[in-house]
Amino acid sequence: SQIITRAVRGNFFDIREPVLRPEDFEAQVRYVEDGLMLLSGGHIVWLGSWQEGEGRLALAQKTAGLEIDDYRDKLIVPGFVDTHIHYPQTEMIGAYGEQLLEWLTRYTFPTEQQYHCADYSKRMSKFFLDQLLLNGTTTALVFGTVHPESVDALFKEASDINMRLVAGKVMMDKNAPDALLETPDESERDTRALIARWHNRQRLSYALTPRFAPTSSPALLQKVRLLKQEFPDVYMHTHLSENVAELSWVKEMHPEHQHYLDVYHQYGLTGERCVFAHCLHLDDSEWDCLHDTDSTIAFCPTSNLFLGSGLFNLQKSWQKQVRVGMGTDVGAGTTFNMLETLSEAYKVGQLQRYRLSAFEAFYHATLGGARALHLDDKIGNFNTGKEADFVVLEPGVSALQKLRATNSKTLAEKLFVLMTLGDDRNVYSTYVDGEQVYARDALQGGRPA
């Protein structure tokens, strides 16, 4: 038997298996009140009740001085998965007044130019990863900037804590300031070098990251296609159908293509591990294409509301059976926090008469996000053999939350109140690869030494 390196006591909630219909989540809910989870290094080897587990623990081979991380009054859930976020927009979150295209020009492009500097990239990478961890997010699919330095810095910081992270440098060769443009040849060369350096190293994966159709020439998209063919297990990560002005622009630029998605599809950029952020204004044939190619959507409610882009149709994604994960889309998104993101997702549902249950919401933020990234064999719940990435939530941290919690009866109600009222204060501790990487009450207010 494996050596037990850590034992965690608390109340555990997760979803056992993906489902095909939202009505079926209830049957997949696992809630272990006063449970025990046993870890061996970075993996989960057992989860069950404390009573059962205590005996097992007594018999198990343990590392000397094994202690029990005791979270008896807390709720432990799988680490959150953020399927779309821009780390080089952290410092411009909450920028006033514009919708997508003007917002890019006025705020985003100037900000991203700072990432030519390796030192700046390193500083911001640390800040960014700390923000993910203090919000309980343990895996993310991340946009860098066009500069390879930006991605080197981020991967380096993530590798130091053996985090599961997918990222890539932006590829773009038109419709942005010169300082952010490259030629297709440069783009290929820099991307190739980053893949060689980082892809499949520790828990890191690379994502080919053409920003979106309007900043990509045919020659650039052709480079992305060739790289995707050469490295079939790298991701492809881009934006699709976010804003109506963007749609008309794409139509003008590509009159030969019937739909926005066709532009990517014709270059072979649909399929497994192809992730499209937003997808707000798709027509039926685009939905069908996403389904038929088994592509993935990142649903980014705080961004879609903040930029006034539109409402994502979650119900349609069930009808069409398309993989969906949650994305914060910082800095168009207004929070790193997945609880707040789920709360906004619920409201997006409300505006379309779709009832997002707490079980479905937490699924999208954990196992569903993992499945969206084809990582559900590794992360997303507490099944034996999964990687030990999890977050300890404290359900009542304010007078209002406590009052409301005492007035909620079922698990579904407690979770719903947590996502509706919750934020980063509710994240008590975060574990990555079986190690504690964030403790809210630690003296430095950051990672424990």
Where do contacts with ligand GUN occur on this chain (CB under 6 A)?
A: 86, 100, 104, 108, 211-212, 239, 242, 303, 329, 332
Q: Rounded CA gap, 10 and 428, in Å? A: 12
Identify which of 341, 403, 235 has the alpha carbon closest to the alpha carbon of residue 224: 235
Interface mask toward Zn ion for 64-103; x: CB under 5 A = ----------------------------------------
Shortest distance in whole angstroms from residue 21 CB to ligand GUN: 30
Q: Rounded CA gap, 377 and 24, in Å? A: 20
* Of 228 and 278, CB closest to Zn ion: 278
* Of 112 and 389, CB closest to ligand GUN: 112
Which residue's Cβ has the minimum distance to ligand GUN? 332
Shortest distance in whole angstroms from residue 274 CB to ligand GUN: 16
Q: Where are the alpha helices (DSSP H) in 254-409?
A: 260-266, 284-293, 301-306, 314-319, 338-350, 358-365, 367-372, 399-406
Q: Which does 154 bind (CB under 5 to 8 A by kind): Zn ion, ligand GUN, none?
A: none
Q: Is 23 exposed, middle or buried (0-12, 13-18, 19+ CB in 10 A)?
A: exposed
Shortest distance in whole angstroms from residue 212 CB to ligand GUN: 4
Asked if residue 329 binds Zn ion (CB under 5 A), the reply is: yes
Shortest distance in whole angstroms from residue 331 CB to ligand GUN: 8
* Of 172 and 415, CB closest to ligand GUN: 172
Shortest distance in whole angstroms from residue 203 CB to Zn ion: 23
Q: Which does 346 bind (CB under 5 to 8 A by kind): ligand GUN, Zn ion, none?
A: none
Shortest distance in whole angstroms from residue 414 CB to ligand GUN: 32
Stretch of 97-105, 290-298, 328-336, 394-402 contacting Zn ion, by CB under 5 A: 328-336
Q: Where are the alpha helices (DSSP H) in 68-108?
A: 100-103
The conformational region for residue 421 under phi > 0 = left, psi -120 to 50 = alpha, else beta, is alpha
Can you state the angle between helices 338-350 and 411-421, rounded to 10 degrees?
A: 100
Q: Which does 242 bind (CB under 5 to 8 A by kind): ligand GUN, Zn ion, none?
A: ligand GUN
The count of chain residues that interact with Zn ion, using the rule CB under 5 A, is: 2
**240-299 positions binding Zn ion, by CB under 5 A:** 277
* Of 329 and 344, CB closest to Zn ion: 329
Strand extents, DSSP E, 193-303 = 204-210, 235-240, 274-278, 296-299
Q: Per residue in 82-119, is it b (16+ CB within 10 Å) or e — as a string? A: bbbbbbbbbebbebeeebbbebbeebbbebbbbbbeee
Q: Which does 211 bind (CB under 5 to 8 A by kind): ligand GUN, Zn ion, none?
A: ligand GUN
* Of 307 and 417, CB closest to ligand GUN: 307
Q: Rounded CA gap, 245 and 251, in Å? A: 10
* Of 176 and 338, CB closest to ligand GUN: 176
Q: Where are the alpha helices (DSSP H) in 33-174?
A: 50-59, 100-103, 109-112, 118-134, 148-160
Q: How many CA atoms lie within 13 A of 337 on its CB side?
A: 18
Shortest distance in whole angstroms from residue 214 CB to ligand GUN: 8
* Of 275 and 332, CB closest to ligand GUN: 332
Q: Could you tell me if 237 and 257 are in contact, meaning their C-beta atoms sit under 8 angstroms apart?
A: no
* Of 194 and 277, CB closest to Zn ion: 277
Identify which of 167, 136, 178 has the alpha carbon closest to the alpha carbon of residue 335: 136
Q: Where are the alpha helices (DSSP H) in 281-323?
A: 284-293, 301-306, 314-319
* Of 211 and 371, CB closest to ligand GUN: 211
Stretch of 68-76, 165-173, 218-226, 321-329 contacting Zn ion, by CB under 5 A: 321-329
Q: Which does 108 bind (CB under 5 to 8 A by kind): ligand GUN, Zn ion, none?
A: ligand GUN
Identify which of 272, 333, 301, 283 has the alpha carbon closest to the alpha carbon of residue 143: 333
Q: Which does 212 bind (CB under 5 to 8 A by kind): ligand GUN, Zn ion, none?
A: ligand GUN
Shortest distance in whole angstroms from residue 311 CB to ligand GUN: 15
Q: Could you tell me if 387 and 40 are in contact, meaning their C-beta atoms sit under 8 angstroms apart?
A: no
Amino acid at 370: A
* Of 4 and 277, CB closest to Zn ion: 277
Binding residues for Zn ion, rule: CB under 5 A, are 277, 329
